Chains A and B, each alone.
Chain A
Amino acid sequence: MVKKAVQRFYLAVIFLFLYLPILVLIVLSFNNSKSRVVWGGFTLKWYASCFTDETIMSAFTTTLQITIAAAVLSTFIGTLAAIGIHAMKKRNKAIMLGATNIPLLNADIVTGISMMLLFVRFTNLGFVTVLIAHITFNIPYVILNVLPKLSEAGRSTYEAALDLGASPLYAFYKITWPEIRSGVFSGFLMAVTMSLDDFSITFFTKGAGVNTLSTMLYTELRKGIRPELYALSTILFLLAFLLLLVMNIHSDRTGTAAVR
């Protein structure tokens, strides 16, 4: 009995640690005073000014564009690559996986800097360079989520289908796709998560006027804290909450583990 209580207490402390800062931001976003400790009454004005703030809104749009574009493209390239790698002989496979591990294991700062050195040599930094960088560090997550599914699937069924005269597209759609779908989906989600949370790589590869939320906030935080940022936190938290909730319910219904 005591043990149970201790366990529950421990859980409570950890979740307090995780969610207390977020709670503070949410509370402050309704505070009608710029102060961080004094409660000046309830207001929604920070939300209004947050939505009309160009810096915040343009960073928000850029983040969405980059995250979605990078996640879609990297899922596409990554899934194809996984199928290809799966079909390879052992040695080639090891080489490909070794290269795939580089961006995963390398420090973000080193990945960001090395890409910046490359880009600066050939082009101007801008939206596209950030997108390329994001795709690069997203692909490995997709591959590593899809590969295990392919191994589970086994390739003989697919080849049998081809032998029986199915077109490769049809065989892929009917046989391979259902087996790897959940892996592709979780790879996509990982890519989204990584893109949303990235700072270092974007920081080094971004051009003038291109800001994701992370880099915009880094600049803003060094200029002092504006209450609009509290409102932004609350909005982002709610969005994340709703999105993940919908996906979780969806995946529970279809019986696949979506978020891993």
Chain B
Amino acid sequence: MYRLKRQFLAGPYLLWIAGFILLPLVFILYYAFTADGSFTFSQVAAIADPVHRKALFLALKLGFFCTLVCLLLAYPLCLILSRFHFRHQSFVVFLFILPMWMNFMLRILAWRLLLSNSGLINSLFELIGIGHVKLLNTQLSVVFGMVYDFLPFMVLPIYNSMARINKDVIEAARDLGANSATVLIKIVIPLTLSGIISGIIMVFVPALTSFVISDLLGGGKVLLIGNVIEQEFMQGMNWHLGSGLSVVLMIFVVVSMALLNTFEKEGGSAAVW
């Protein structure tokens, strides 16, 4: 009886879901499947247009590399961090959250300053004789900015899942003669898998759909699917096409998440750190 009444507490949220989560989705689907008032698949099919396809593939490519680099950087980092005995464990988290509280536009601005033709890094290169290197406004600089921005999203879930590992399990394995590599492969990685998957999702999705980083660090030369959609809404005035491409993007996100979740046996765990 008590439970029944307590359920009512979720009532306002239910309204909120209906009004501000589901209804907007209905709107975007409506726009995506209509043109001039009649039903059509053409807006969604527009993804097959060479220009849009190219932008989507580029976003997938850069998103993939960004995720890979984040994972390769973050995993060893978490291994090292989990072995250090900080007096305050939360201090580590603090160091990663801190940059996030400073506006990410400003951090991107900093990289723009560092990477530009007359920037600090190029000045340094010229000083030590490497000469001028094209850094800014390339695909590489976009990936770089993404890695910088999204690295904490990879570190935090992995670090949390590592911190939860019972040290006795590792001790036991060692007592039974396992070397470090075996412990890592047989115990640590499987036990942190859910953290890894959360991390991958939390990095890959924003990287795949980003448009700001490619805009600010790509100099208008790197067109990702996110940029195409943004331009259809903000400049091209074709909201139907923009919505159609957004729906395609949504499908890609859902599919990649479904694929990832097959790796995780438990399933259903929230992808938040």
Chain A residues close to B by CB (< 8 Å):
7, 10-11, 14-15, 17-22, 24-25, 28, 36-37, 77-78, 80-81, 83-88, 92, 96, 99-111, 113-118, 121, 132-133, 135-136, 139, 141, 143-145, 155, 158-159, 162, 190, 193, 196-197, 199-200, 204, 213-214, 217-218, 221, 225, 229, 232-233, 236-237, 240-241, 243-245, 248, 251-252, 257-260
Contact = CB atoms under 8 A, between A and B. Distances in A.
Contacts of A96: 10, 13-14, 17
Contacts, number: 250
Given A105-B253, A197-B100, A18 B151 contact: yes
A37 B270 contact: no
Interface stretch (B23-31, B37-45, B134-142): B23-31
Give the residue among B6, B96, B111, B113 with the most A Cβ atoms within 10 A. B6
Contact of A204 (B25, B201, B233): B233
A213 B273 CA distance: 26
Given A84-B11, A244-B97, A252-B90, A36 B113 contact: yes
Cβ-closest 4 pairs across A and B: A84-B10, A21-B110, A81-B13, A240-B101
Contacts of A240: 98, 101-102
Nearest to A6: B80
Interface stretch (B46-54, B117-125, B166-174, B184-192): B117-125
29 contacts: A18-B151, A24-B114, A24-B120, A36-B118, A37-B123, A83-B9, A86-B6, A87-B9, A99-B22, A102-B25, A103-B21, A104-B271, A105-B205, A106-B250, A107-B250, A109-B246, A110-B28, A113-B28, A113-B242, A117-B243, A118-B23, A136-B16, A155-B2, A197-B100, A200-B211, A204-B233, A232-B106, A233-B103, A260-B160
A111 to B, nearest CB: 8
Give the residue among A10, A11, A109, A118 with the most B Cβ atoms within 10 A. A109
Please classify how large the interface on chain B is, using the bins under 10, 10 to 19, 20 to 34, 35 or more.
35 or more
Q: SS class of chain B's interface: helix, strand, loop or mixed?
A: helix
Interface in B69-110: 73, 76-77, 80-81, 83, 88, 90-91, 93-110
Given A113-B28, A117-B239, A105 B16 contact: no
A171 to B, nearest CB: 10
A15 B95 contact: yes
A229 B109 contact: yes
B229 interface: yes
A132 B103 CA distance: 21
Contacts of B129: none
A14 B77 contact: yes
A88 B14 CA distance: 13
Interface of B: 2-4, 6-14, 16-17, 20-25, 27-28, 31, 73, 76-77, 80-81, 83, 88, 90-91, 93-114, 116, 118-120, 123, 148, 151, 156, 160, 201, 205-206, 208-209, 211-212, 216, 226, 229-230, 233, 239, 242-243, 246, 249-250, 253-254, 257, 270-273
A80 B206 contact: no
Contact of A260 (B106, B148, B273): B273
B2 A107 contact: no
Given A108-B209, A114-B27, A17 B253 contact: no
Given A99-B22, A105-B257, A197 B103 contact: yes
A22 B201 contact: no
Contacts of B205: 105, 107
Contact of A236 (B7, B14, B102): B102
A113 B105 contact: no
Contacts of A225: 109, 112-113
B13 A139 contact: yes
B230 A258 contact: no
A106 B109 CA distance: 26
Given A99-B17, A114-B24, A260-B93, A213 B105 contact: yes
A145 B136 CA distance: 39
A10 B10 contact: no
Contacts of A15: 95
A193 B109 contact: no
A190 B254 CA distance: 24
Give the residue among B13, B93, B114, B208 with the most A Cβ atoms within 10 A. B13
A21 B31 contact: no
Contact of A159 (B2, B93, B104, B246): B2
Nearest to A83: B9
Given A197-B101, A217-B105, 19 more contacts: A36-B118, A36-B119, A80-B10, A80-B12, A87-B7, A96-B10, A107-B206, A108-B209, A116-B233, A162-B2, A193-B97, A204-B233, A218-B105, A218-B216, A221-B109, A221-B112, A236-B102, A244-B101, A251-B90
